[in-house]
Amino acid sequence: MVLPAVCLGGVLAACDGEPGGNHPDAGAPASASTLTFVPDVPLGGEAYLCFGFEVGAAVRAAGLAAIAWEPGAGAVTLHHGKLYAVTTAYPSGPVPCDQQPTGAIPLHAWAPGSEPLRLPAGVALAVPDDAVSLVVEAHVYRFAEGPPVTDRVGLTLAGAEASLRAGWSGRNAPVPPLRPGHLETSMYSCTFTAGMHVYFAWPHEHLLGRSFHAGITAPAGAFTLVDVPTWNFNQQVAVAVDADVAAGDLLDVTCSWMNSTDRYVLPGPRTTDEMCGLGLIVSPPPPGGALPCQTAP
């Protein structure tokens, strides 16, 4: 199966299968590329769909300096998206993917309100040396009749000065059954088993989220990674951090939800479920994307 290539240089629209010059990034520098995908579901439906793109040697060698998601506007809405690297050829899609692709290394996540990710000068988001495909996971739902929309992920390759490598990692905290008409809270903690530098922290809840807090407790004192006292599902912004954590430091995550419905709401990936997730971009990249943080036995 032939995958769409991650195109570098030239007129990016030609890479997207559109007439040259129609894409707003047309004529972008050779360090830019665009992944284009068109997810669709039946009216009132919701699904996880994955799309594969071939990774070139230049992407693996350079790493990424920036990632900008460009969701289309129309009848099909992107609830959130994730970008992975995998070590095998992945179909161009759409492929149903309720579970993370096998062996996938997470690179980035997007949700409504997110701003483009730009790594600090001298830092690149690492793409594994053995990566064969990039995979876009699109969680979408359709709320009206009409044609599907085109979504894009713009990638900017890092320059030669980017000597530090960073990677995405994260942790999902437990979500209790949310009782109708109740305010519920969940707290989670783990102890780091390795040191790292944190560049960004990204909080994630769904529609019933009330607040989100993540912080670090270290021998020298405590500090906040990200604090959202009033949760807004449409403003899930990654926060720049610039902080060191050491082995033995404690990570605490607290989520709260107000269940304004007349039914129990359970943990899960769909919009009508709930989550409590923390994404981090750290250096060095955690092996396999697994956050080196151990819960108490």
**DSSP of 146-193:** S----EEEEEEE--TT--EEEEEEEEEPP---B-TT-EEEEEEEEEES
Render pLDDT for 36-93 as a digit per residue (tens, 0 to 9): 999 999 999 989 999 999 998 889 999 999 999 999 989 999 988 999 999 999 999 8
Q: What is the pLDDT of residues 123-181, one digit of tens each?
A: 999 998 899 999 999 999 898 999 999 999 999 999 888 999 998 888 888 999 999 99
| pLDDT over 90 (residue 33) | no
Report DSSP state, residue 267. Answer: B
Question: Distance of CA 114 to CAs 79, 181, 203, 226, 242, Å?
Answer: 12, 29, 11, 14, 18
pLDDT at residue 22 greater than cutoff 70: no
User: What residue ranges define each of the domains in the chain, with the CATH number in brackets?
Assistant: 12-18+30-162 (2.60.120.310), 167-294 (2.60.120.230)
Residue 235 has pLDDT above 90, yes or no: no
Give tens-digit pLDDT for 174-211. Answer: 999 999 999 999 999 999 999 999 999 989 898 899 99
DSSP bridge partners of 230: none
Is there a contact between 133 and 56 (Cβ–Cβ < 8 Å)?
no
**pTM across the whole model:** 0.77
